[in-house]
Amino acid sequence: MQDKQRVVKPHIAEEWVGKIYTLLCIFFLIVTIFSMVYFVASKGISTFFLPNVNLLDFLTGLKWAPEGSPPAFGALPFIVGSFTTSILAALIAAPLGICAAIFMTEIMPGVGRRYLQPVIELLAGIPSVVYGFIGLSVLVPFLRDVFPGQGIGIAAGAMVLSIMILPTITTIAADALAGLSHSLKEGSYALGATRWQTIYRIILPTTLPALLTGVVLGISRAFGEALAVQMVIGNAPHIPKSLFESTSTLTSVITLSMGNTVSGSPHNSALWSLALILMSMTFVFVFIVRWLERRSKV
Amino acid sequence: MTTKFEVNELQLHYGEFHALKQISLSIPERSVNALIGPSGCGKSTFLRTLNRMNDMISSVRVDGEIKLSGTNIYDTGMDVEELRKRVGMVFQQPNPFPKSIYENVAFGPRLHRKPGRKELDEIVEKSLRGASLWDEVKDDLHKSALGLSGGQQQRLCIARALAVNPEVLLMDESTSALDPISTLKIEELIQELKKDYTIVMVTHNMHQAARVSDYTTFFLNGEVIESSPTEKLFSTPVDHRTEQYITGRFG
Ligand SMILES: Nc1ncnc2c1ncn2[C@@H]1O[C@H](COP(=O)(O)OP(=O)(O)OP(=O)(O)O)[C@@H](O)[C@H]1O
Ligand SMILES: [Mg+2]
């Protein structure tokens, strides 16, 4: 009896240390997340207690002049800017990324694994300032020469973002394609399907939810990217008339203005409200991804 | 009886590994042919040479010839998709596509041409009837195939193969994942199908081979040891290794 206890005791202690440690970590994480959400939300909501500002005007207003008299807080240009750049980026990157994934998994797995995958991973590791810099010094002049306009704007932003989200979309698509059961493909080939018939009719439809997951995660990443976009978008606070005209996004206006505002001022609160919109959109994206993932398990 | 497959000195290598050695065999039309032998002896490999499914493995090298109704399917001019349309295959695990029952059966015909709605409906019904599944699913054609039982899924895979109107049906242990009743159903189905199709099946179940097949071929270490009418092979095997295997003193 005594012997047994002596053997068991250190074991129990180990259990408790592990349990307490993980609980503490979780507790810490939850507290951090909740306090961040609370902080952003309370700061962001405080704007709407200011005189002459209400949520509807904020979301639909076209004029952004926070330091003007009277100040105007219309965030629609930024909301439009954020959505158009990130969705356009996804429209460019999704076909490229999915094609690259098909190439890597179905057409030439050897070459894909050995050369393409490292390159894609490299893309993911390049800091965003480098993307912005390349965009500004190569892409913007090119667009200026080819299209009417200043070169900066939504087109430039979307193109830079599309390269930045390419790794996300490609990697998730490649994982999904590689994870597809071999027996489904065999079933298709055994009926006399060609490789592309199998890709179009079996592989892509079956992995569609997972492919979309990658695209939504890409949009989400594009939506939140600030630095690279800010460098090529021009940062004019209005809705542009073309894709090659200066405009802003939620992120770019925050990074540009936050240093110039005093905490608690209406301008500062308005920036927090923009951050709150960003954060809410992130929740929406996470929700969509969750939903898609549940569908892809069926 | 006409010969469907004429296999002459077939050799298959997986890289350095010599998996099939000098196989010569003839498979008569409209008969059930069982391939038996211990695990790893090359039954599946041989079966997959008949519809060139081994082509997808890059290390595979095939020598010798297999004639299907007189033409060598390993000729350079051979249309592999056309071959697979003529030589259908059912796998060990049921592998219905994650689509509706109807779409599963319609998949094959749609690959090869563009049948009209009405024609397609007819093909689907005929194939499901051919696989004795019609009565069970006729009201659920547009429900997911993944909701069917394992035995029903396997019969759906048979229907799917029948829908492209093949001449031959290859079955690789197609009942081994199923319960006894589903197995029996498929065995009965095979008896029915041999009136129109040539069937080559791999089985580990000696009783099954004895029950359903007309001819049995015994494989060992990549070689054909003995191939004869089933009754003869099981009652008076010529080679002592065949006898050892079928009496269970082997492998
Ligand atoms: N893709 C492959 N690459 C290399 N070797 C292989 C491959 N597939 C099969 N083999 C080898 O070829 C031999 C024959 O395999 P095969 O699958 O044809 O056997 P089998 O008779 O069907 O066995 P079982 O009854 O277990 O299904 C085995 O030794 C196996 O290890
Ligand atoms: Mg096998």
- The answer to whether residues A245 and A203 belong to one domain is yes
Q: Are residues A97 and A212 in the same domain?
A: yes
pLDDT at B195 over 80: yes
Q: What is the pLDDT of residue B95?
A: 95
A55 occurs within a structural domain: no
Instruction: Report the C-alpha gap between A161 and A174 in whole angstroms.
Output: 20
> How far is C-alpha A111 from the geometric centre of its chain's CA atoms?
29
A143 and A185: one domain? yes
- Asked if residue A283 and residue A173 are part of one domain, the reply reads yes
Whole-angstrom Cα distance, residue A227 to residue A128? 6
Pair (A31, A127) in one structural domain: no
CATH code: domain of residue A169: 1.10.3720.10
Indicate whether A92 and A234 sit together in one domain.
yes
Q: In chain A, which residues have their Cβ closer than 8 Å to the Cβ of B97? A: 184, 187-188, 202, 206
What per-residue confidence (pLDDT) applies to A110? 84
Q: Looking at the structure, tell me whether residues A99 and A158 fall in a common domain.
A: yes
Which one of B95, B113, B158 makes the best mutation probe of the A interface by having the most chain A beta carbons within 10 Å? Answer: B95
Is there a single domain that holds both residue A218 and residue A177?
yes
Q: What is the pLDDT of residues A144-175, one digit of tens each?
A: 999 988 889 999 999 999 999 999 999 999 99
User: Where does the pLDDT of residue A8 fall: very low under 50, low under 70, confident under 90, or very high at 90 and above?
Assistant: low
> Is there a domain that residue A190 lies in?
yes
CA angle B39–B40–B42, rounded 5-degree value: 115
Residue-wise pLDDT tens digits, B226-242: 999 999 999 999 999 99
A140 token code pair: 């913007």
Residues of A whose CB is below 8 A from B99: 205
Task: Tell me, yes or no, whether A66 lies in a domain.
Answer: no
Q: Which residues, other chains included, contact B40 with Cβ-Cβ below 8 Å and sequence gap of 6+?
A: none
Tell me which residues have their CB closer than 6 angstroms to ligand 1. B 14, 17, 19, 37, 39-45, 57
Residues A121 and A248 both lie in one domain: yes
pLDDT the model gives residue A297: 61
**Which of B51, B83, B95 minimises the CB distance to A187?**
B95
Residue B163 structure tokens: 């829908």
In a domain, A182, yes or no: yes
Q: Please classify residue A258 by burial: count the beta carbons closer than 10 Å to its beta carbon, then call 0-12 exposed, 13-18 middle and 19+ buried.
A: middle
Residues A233-253, mean pLDDT to the nearest whole number: 90
Residue whose Cα lies nearest atom 28 of ligand 1: it is B40
Looking at the partner chain, which of B53, B83, B99 has a beta carbon nearest the beta carbon of A186? B53
For the complex shown, is ipTM > 0.90? Answer: yes
Q: How many domains does chain A have?
A: 2
Asked whether A244 and A146 are in contact (CB, 8 A), the reply is: no
Establish if A180 belongs to a structural domain. yes
- A81, A228: one domain: yes
CB atoms B53 and A184 under 8 Å: no
Residues in chain B: 251
In a domain, A101, yes or no: yes
Q: A54 lies in a domain? A: no
| Ligand 1 midpoint to CA B209 (Å) | 20
Residues A146 and A24 occupy one common structural domain: no
Residues A31 and A147 in one domain: no
Ligand at shortest distance from the CA of B35: 1
User: Could you tell me if B216 and B207 are in contact, meaning their C-beta atoms sit under 8 angstroms apart?
Assistant: no
What is the 8-class DSSP label of residue A258? G
Q: Which domain holds residue A19?
A: 2-49
Contact between A268 and A262 (Cβ < 8 Å): yes
Query: Span A49-62, mean pLDDT?
Result: 87
CA distance B190 to B31: 10
Q: What is the average per-residue pLDDT within A202-218?
A: 93
Please indicate, yes or no, if residue A59 is contained in any of the structural domains.
no
State in Å: Cα B40 to ligand 1 middle: 5
Model confidence at A218, pLDDT cuts 50, 70, 90, reads: very high
Rounded Cα distance, A75 and A60, in Å: 7
Whether the model clears a pTM of 0.90, i.e. scores above it, the answer is: no
Cβ–Cβ under 8 Å, residues B214 and B183: no
Distance A52 CA to ligand 2 centre (A): 77
